[in-house]
Amino acid sequence: MSHFMRAALMLLLAGLVVLSGGAACHAADAARIALVIGNAKYPDNEFVLSEVANDAQDMADELKRSGFVVDRQSNITGDAMRQVLGRFYDRIERGTVALIFFDGFAIQSNRQTYLLPVDAQIWTEPDVSRDGFSLDTILAEMNTRGAAIKIALIDASRRNPFERRFRRYSAGLAPAIAPSNTLVLYSAALGAVTASGKSDRSLFVAELLREMRAPNISADQALTNTKNGVVAATKREQVPWLSSSLTTDFSFAGTAARPRDDAAPTKPEPQTVEPQKPVCEVPQAEPAPNTDELARDPVIADLSRKITANANDVTSRYKRGQVYAIKRAYALAMQDFDAVLRRAPRDAEALNNRCWTRAATGDLQGALADCNLALQINPGLSDALDSRGLVNLKLGRNAEAIKDYTDAIQRNPRSSSSLFGRGIAARRSGGDGAADIAQAKAMNPNIAKEFVSYGVKECGP
C-alpha cells in the first residue's frame, strides 16, 4: 500500500471515529427524556398552588443531573399541552427511558385518571374526557413509540374546584392501566386526596427527589422508599400509590439499564385504612367570601356577563348557582337555583343542588322535599341520596341517614361525603362509625371541616 493510500485510509478511519462518536453522543442524549409540567395557576381555583412551581423546577433540575433531556412547561392550556405531548412523543426512540412528571389538578372519570390543563372547562362528567388528558393514553403512546421504560410521577391527588361542581365528593385518582416495564407513582392513595396547602414545596416531591439522588438503588426501590418516607412523615395520613411492572434494572442516579433475570411484574400494594379513635376536636370552617371577593371571582364574573346578555341562559345560571354554593354564598345560590327550577321544575340535578343548599342553611323541610322529588324523578341519583343523607342527619333521623348514605355508597364507593356522614350517623346511633370516618378522612383530609360548614360536627350532637 502506498504512503498516499495509507494516509487516505487513516483520514477515512478518523472520520468514521468522529462520526460514530457523534452518533453515540446523540444516542446518549436521547436515551433519557422527560416532560415536566407544573400547572399552578388554574383560574377556577381560589388560590395559586404555590408549591407547584418550585417542585416542577426542582424536579427538572434533578432529572437533568440524572442525564435526562428535559422539557419543562408551566401553566399550560389544553392546546399547549397537546403540542408539548406531541413533541415528547416525537423524541421517543426505540429503547428510550421516557418520563412524565405532572404537578397540578387531575380527575378520575370512568376509571381513568385525566391530567387537567389550566383552561379546562369542566361542569359535567363528559367534560373531563373532553378537556383532560388520559394518563393511560399517554403511557400507551409512550410504549407505542418504542420507550423501553415508561415512568409517570403524578402529584395531582388534590381536591379541585371542578369536581365540586358535579360531585359532592372527591374521587381522587384511578389506577393506571399501564404497559409492561412501567413505573407509576401518585402522591396519595387511589381515591384519596391530600389537604390543600400553601407551602413552598410539597413533602411528596421532597421525599421523591431525595430518593432519586440516592446511589446504588433501583428506580422502583427509590419510589418504594419515597412512599414509605411520606407514610412515616404524615403518620399514615398520606399514602402514595405505587405500581411497578418494571422488567429492566434502571436507576435514576446510575447510567445503565439492563434486563433483569428475575423480572416479574409487581402488583400494586393494597391500601388499607386503619380505624381511628373518636376525636372531638372541632375544626374551624373556612369563612364565606364577602361580596367584593365574589365579584372579583373570574368564573362568577364570566357567568354573570352571560346571564346579563341573555336572561334565558339557564345553563349559565345553574353553573353560577353551583359556584355560589361551593363558595358558601348560599343565599345567592338559592336565587339561581330558584330561577332554574321555575323554568325546569323537574330538573333532578337542580333539585339536588337546591336540596344541598337548603340543608346547609338549615331549611331542612324544604331540603327534604327537594331531595325526595329529585329521587322520584331519578331514583339512581347518588348525589341526591348523599344530600338527603345530610338532611336526615341534621334532622336527627340517623337510621334514615344511614340508609341513604349506604345506598349512595353502593352506587359510588368513593364518596368521602357519604362515608363520613354514615360514620357520624352510626356513632350517633350508638354504633361504631370509626372505620367509615377514617376512610373518609384518608380520601379527603378536609371532610370534617366541610361538614362543620354544613353545621355537622364529628363529635357531639
Tell me: the pLDDT tens digits for 122-162?
A: 888 889 999 999 999 999 999 999 999 999 999 999 888 88
In a domain, 224, yes or no: yes
Phi, psi of 35 (to 5 degrees): -115, 120
pLDDT at 273 over 60: no
189 & 318 share domain: no
235 & 379 share domain: no
40 & 123 share domain: yes
The answer to whether 182 and 152 have CB atoms below 8 angstroms apart is: yes
Q: Report the pLDDT value the prediction gives residue 123, as an integer from 0 to 100.
A: 87
The answer to whether 97 and 35 have CB atoms below 8 angstroms apart is: no
Q: Which CB contacts under 8 angstroms, 24+ apart, belong to 81-84?
A: 81/37, 81/115, 81/117, 81/133, 82/133, 84/35, 84/37
pLDDT at 297 over 50: yes
58 & 141 share domain: yes
pLDDT at 277 over 80: no
233 & 297 share domain: no
233 & 322 share domain: no
In a domain, 277, yes or no: no
Higher pLDDT, 164 or 353: 353
Q: How many domains does the chain have?
A: 2
346 & 200 share domain: no
| pLDDT tens for each residue of 373-410 | 999 999 988 889 999 999 999 999 999 999 999 999 99
In a domain, 402, yes or no: yes
255 & 297 share domain: no
| pLDDT tens for each residue of 80-117 | 999 999 999 999 999 999 999 999 999 998 889 999 99
End position of a domain, from candidates 259, 275, 305: 259
In a domain, 267, yes or no: no
Question: How many CB atoms neighbour CB 171 within 10 A?
Answer: 22
Q: Residue 204's closest CA among 369, 31, 52, 361?
A: 52
In a domain, 188, yes or no: yes
Q: How many residues does the chain have?
A: 461
pLDDT at 7 over 60: no
Buried residues in 329-338 as b, exposed as e (16+ CB within 10 A):
bbebbbebbe
Written as nine digits, the cell of 225 is 422508599
- Three-state SS for the chain is CCHHHHHHHHHHHHHHHHHHHHHHHHHHHHCEEEEEEECCCCCCCCCCCHHHHHHHHHHHHHHHHCCCEEEEEECCCHHHHHHHHHHHHHHCCCCCEEEEEEECCEEEECCEEEECCCCCCCCCHHHHHHHCEEHHHHHHHHHHCCCCEEEEEEECCECCCCHHHHCCCCCCCCCCCCCCCEEEEECCCCCCCECCCCCCCCHHHHHHHHHHHCCCCCHHHHHHHHHHHHHHHCCCCCCCEEEECCCEEECCCCCCEEECCCCCCECCCCCCCCCCCCCCCCCCCCCCCCHHHHHHCHHHHHHHHHHHHCCCCHHHHHHHHHHHHHCCCHHHHHHHHHHHHHHCCCCHHHHHHHHHHHHHHCCHHHHHHHHHHHHHHCCCCHHHHHHHHHHHHHHCCHHHHHHHHHHHHHHCCCCHHHHHHHHHHHHHCCCCCHHHHHHHHHHCCCHHHHHHHCCCCCCCC
Phi, psi of 112 (to 5 degrees): -125, 150
Q: Parallel, antiparallel, or unpaired for β 112-115 and 241-244?
A: unpaired
Higher pLDDT, 265 or 213: 213
Written as nine digits, the cell of 407 is 345506598
Q: Report the pLDDT value the prediction gives residue 253, as an integer from 0 to 100.
A: 81
In a domain, 333, yes or no: yes
Q: Residue 151's closest CA among 263, 44, 246?
A: 246
Q: Report the pLDDT value the prediction gives residue 17, as an integer from 0 to 100.
A: 36
For residue 314, give every residue at least 6 positions away whose Cβ sits within 8 Å of its Cβ, in sequence order, or none.
339, 340, 343, 344
| pLDDT tens for each residue of 15-37 | 433 333 333 333 333 489 999 99
Which domain CATH number covers 296?
A: 1.25.40.10
Which domain CATH number covers 31?
A: 3.40.50.1460
Question: How many CB atoms neighbour CB 249 within 10 A?
Answer: 17
338 & 242 share domain: no
158 & 243 share domain: yes
346 & 404 share domain: yes
Q: How far apart are CA 210 and CA 225, in angstroms?
A: 10
Question: What is the domain extent for residue 33?
Answer: 27-259
pTM of the predicted structure, to 2 decimals: 0.68
In a domain, 305, yes or no: yes
In a domain, 15, yes or no: no
Q: Report the pLDDT value the prediction gives residue 36, as an integer from 0 to 100.
A: 98
Tell me the HSE value of 147 on the side-chain side, using a 13 A CA sphere: 30
